[in-house]
């Protein structure tokens, strides 16, 4: 195992960093920072928004050996420190990016102002399923995932209503490195922090799409209950008609929920 390197894109207006509170946003497997473009635009006047890409996705370099989600969280902290050393930040992430957020809460909670876990949970899928997918993509490349991902990612009718946004996301999947994607699958195969949720003390928001078959609202409730069991604070929000990529599917709703939560918890 080796800690990967992740790269960032500034999603808010160009200005000197530090004038606004820092918000770091993380992606779902197979996507890039384009997942957050619309939501970040709605939050960019109030927050410095930085999006990071998974290994082999977007602008992040790929990897040649495995890593786990805890090491991905370490890489995000290194990224923040390269931009604003030792600063506290708000964090929001989707699916694997949300799993990374839970690891941040467990391991680096003192750095977080708030945590928004979206379309994710403390355990996603099955090890067998992730390992099978890793093998398939390593052999055939990421385009083999496009049809299945389109079905899993979006709520009913979204691709017809928003062809440009859905096309950008599916192009990010097509362009992802097969090895980086496969190593991310293997990281998800070993990810299970259900027994550690009680150690999260940072205020946490868990957002779920009603139409999400990967991380349904029941998983969001389980995640929040695990945090509350340790004395932490966690709220659950559900979005009708939304599938697995909430910030792209419902940017206004997600931005409103995040803004309210962040202002209630720090800045």
What pLDDT was estimated at residue 178? 97
Report the CATH number at residue 142.
Answer: 3.40.50.1820
pLDDT tens profile 103-137: 999 999 999 999 999 999 999 999 999 999 999 99
Give a yes or no: residue 91 inside a domain.
Answer: yes
Average pLDDT over residues 148-162: 95
CA angle at residue 185 from 178 to 155, to 5 degrees?
A: 95
Give a yes or no: residue 105 inside a domain.
Answer: yes
| Distance, CA of 75 to CA of 25 (rounded, Å) | 13
Give a yes or no: residue 2 inside a domain.
Answer: no
Q: How many CB atoms lie within 10 A of CB 185?
A: 24
pLDDT tens profile 17-52: 888 999 999 999 999 999 999 999 999 999 999 999
- In DSSP terms, 206 is beta-bridged to 117, 236
Give a yes or no: residue 51 inside a domain.
Answer: yes
* DSSP assignments along 107-146, one per residue: HSGGGEEEEEEES--SS-S-HHHHHHHHHHHHHH-GGGGH
Give a yes or no: residue 169 inside a domain.
Answer: yes
Percent of the chain, pLDDT > 70?
A: 99
Give a yes or no: residue 65 inside a domain.
Answer: yes
The DSSP 8-state label assigned to residue 80 in this structure reads: H
In the chain, the number of structural domains is: 1
pLDDT tens profile 210-267: 999 999 999 999 999 999 999 999 999 999 999 999 999 999 999 999 999 999 987 6
Cβ–Cβ < 8 Å for 93, 245 = no
Give a yes or no: residue 1 inside a domain.
Answer: no
Range of the domain at 16: 8-264
Give a yes or no: residue 3 inside a domain.
Answer: no
pLDDT bucket at 86, cuts 50 / 70 / 90: confident
Computed on alpha carbons and rounded to an integer, the radius of gyration of the chain in Å comes to 17
């Amino acid at each position: 195992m080796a800690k990967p390197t992740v790269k960032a894109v500034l999603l808010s207006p160009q200005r000197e960093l530090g004038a606004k509170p820092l918000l770091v946003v993380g992606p779902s497997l197979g996507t890039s920072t384009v997942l957050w473009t619309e939501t970040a635009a709605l939050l960019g006047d109030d927050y410095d928004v930085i999006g990071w890409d998974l290994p082999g996705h977007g602008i992040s370099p790929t990897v040649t050996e495995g890593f786990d989600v805890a090491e991905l969280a370490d890489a995000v902290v290194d990224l923040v420190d390269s931009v604003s050393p030792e600063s506290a930040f708000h964090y929001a992430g989707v699916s694997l990016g949300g799993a990374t957020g839970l690891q941040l809460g467990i391991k680096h909670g003192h750095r977080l102002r708030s945590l928004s876990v979206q379309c994710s949970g403390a355990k996603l899928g099955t090890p067998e399923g992730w390992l099978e997918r890793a093998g398939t993509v390593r052999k055939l490349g990421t385009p083999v995932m496009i049809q299945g991902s389109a079905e899993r990612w979006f709520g009913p009718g979204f691709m017809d209503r928003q062809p440009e946004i859905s096309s950008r996301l599916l192009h990010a999947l097509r362009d992802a490195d097969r090895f980086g994607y496969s190593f991310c699958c293997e990281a998800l195969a070993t990810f299970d922090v259900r027994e550690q949720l009680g150690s999260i003390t940072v205020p946490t928001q868990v957002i779920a799409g009603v139409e999400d078959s990967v991380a349904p609202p029941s998983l969001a409730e389980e995640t929040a209950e695990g945090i509350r069991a340790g004395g932490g604070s966690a709220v659950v929000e559900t979005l009708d008609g939304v599938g697995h990529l909430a910030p792209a599917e419902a940017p206004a709703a997600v931005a409103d929920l995040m803004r309210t939560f962040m202002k209630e918890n720090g800045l």
